[in-house]
Amino acid sequence: MDTQSTRDNTPQTPYSKWLQTEVLHTLQKTVSDHPGEYSFIINCQVMELYWALIVSELQTAQRNLRKEDLAGAHQALLRVVDIHEPLNATWRSLSWMTPSDLLPMLAAAGKTHGRDTALQGWTYRHMVYLFGIKQKEQLKHFKPQPHRWEQLNKALNEPSLYDDVLAYLQRTGLPVPESQFERDFSKPYTPSPDVERAWKVAYDERPAIRNLGETLADIAEEFTTWKYRHLMLTRRTLGSRNAYFGISGIAWLTPTLEEIPFPELFSARTFIGDPPAGCPMGKCRE
């Protein structure tokens, strides 16, 4: 390949210039003597990049839904499902860590950069807000980055991907009530029996929307898998030590497993389908 030059006249191949590899490989700044810190930084940076990619794809899906382009939205969401496979595998890449490995790295990072918390990850928080898991109290962690605080506050107060999905369902004639779109979008989402019924009708009568629902369910499942693997790595590397909020990381993370995006997609399954005679799962009352 022909070479090109950077602004500082460092020779680069077109591949390196396109992917910015000369810059990319300068972004891992270790602060401890532990040989595994480089692995820890790389894997965390990879997660950051995948979250940013998911944010971009979710926003693409929102734009397409608002243009009535279901196929385009669905394609973006299918890419989100695929992205989760390598994203979730990053935890496996860190399974070598024990408390004796992680604690010195955290101490060195705190001494060098100040005390931090993973809650300050703005890409993750943006993704979660787009999933519809709105928690205003998390904004306080981003005061040191005012431009990110503004970005997240905007996402907090705007419709999530799920809100756009439900609006699309309503425009196609499914019985999603108008009240779903008159609420304060910054508040935690409250599941609705009306939305459950809309999904039941979609699964019974609308194959294209049923396929969309299954892709959303895949995303929710993959996201929950990521959180479960995070919890298990915390068990392996910190045990029951108290974290930054006076409780253990395990106690902090375990309830988040119940924060499942698109909740009615799962609760509606109680009513979807008509059990045939002899099925041990009887028909539930609606």
What digits encode the pLDDT tens for the residues 72-126? 999 999 999 999 999 999 999 999 999 999 999 999 988 888 776 666 689 999 9
Q: Does residue 7 form part of some domain?
A: no
Q: Residue 275 falls within a domain, yes or no?
A: no
The predicted model scores a pTM of 0.91
Q: What is the pLDDT of residue 47?
A: 96
For the segment 167-171, the average pLDDT, to the nearest whole number, is 98
Query: How many domains in the chain?
Result: 1
Determine the pLDDT at residue 286.
Answer: 45
The residues, any chain, with a CB within 8 Å of residue 264's CB and separated by 6 or more, are 191, 192, 195, 196, 198, 199
Q: List residues bridging with 12 in a β-sheet.
A: 4
Domain assignment of residue 226, yes or no:
yes
> CA-based diameter of the chain, in Å?
76
Overall average pLDDT of the 122-137 stretch: 95
Query: Is 19 contained in some domain?
Result: no
Instruction: Decide if pLDDT at 186 tops 70.
Output: yes
Q: Which domain range does residue 46 map to? A: 35-99+117-240+247-270
pLDDT in tens, 197-244: 999 999 999 999 999 999 999 999 999 999 999 999 999 999 988 876
Measured distance CA(168)–CA(212) in Å, rounded: 11
Give the Cα separation of 38 and 48 in Å (integer): 15
Q: Which amino acid is at 119?
A: L
> Does 24 map to a domain?
no
Nearest of 153, 183, 178 to residue 166 by alpha carbon: 178
10 — pLDDT class (breaks 50, 70, 90): confident
**Domain-located, residue 108:** no
Which has more pLDDT, 5 or 268? Answer: 268
Please tell me the predicted confidence (pLDDT) of residue 5. Answer: 43
* pLDDT for residue 59: 98
Q: Please provide the average confidence, as pLDDT, over all residues in the chain.
A: 91
| Rounded-to-integer distance, Cα 5 and Cα 3, Å | 7
| Residue 8: predicted pLDDT | 56
CATH number at residue 229: 1.20.58.480
Q: Which residues does 259 contact at the CB level (< 8 Å), separation at least 6?
A: 133
What is the spatial distance between Cα 101 and Cα 106, in angstroms, rounded to a whole number? 9
Q: How many of the other CB atoms lie within 10 Å of CB of 60?
A: 17
What confidence category does residue 1 fall into, taking pLDDT thresholds of 50, 70 and 90? very low
- Would the pLDDT of 273 be above 90? no
In terms of average pLDDT, the best of 54-68, 99-113, 132-146 is 54-68
Q: Does residue 205 fall inside a structural domain?
A: yes
How many percent of the chain have pLDDT more than 70? Answer: 92
3-state secondary structure the chain: CCCEECCCCCEECHHHHHHCHHHHCCCCCCCCCCCCHHHHHHHHHHHHHHHHHHHHHHHHHHHHHHCCCHHHHHHHHHHHHHHHHHHHHHHHHCCCCCHHHHHHHHHHHHHHHCCCCHHHCHHHHHHHHHHCCCCHHHHHHHCCCHHHHHHHHHHHHCCCHHHHHHHHHHHCCCCCCHHHHCCCCCCCCCCCHHHHHHHHHHHHHCHHHHHHHHHHHHHHHHHHHHHHHHHHHHHHHHCCCECCCCCEHHHHHHHHHHCCCCCHHHHHHHCCCCCCCCCCCCCCCC
Kindly indicate the confidence band of residue 4, based on its pLDDT and cuts at 50, 70 and 90: very low
pLDDT above 90 coverage of the chain, percent: 77
Residue 67 lies in a domain: yes
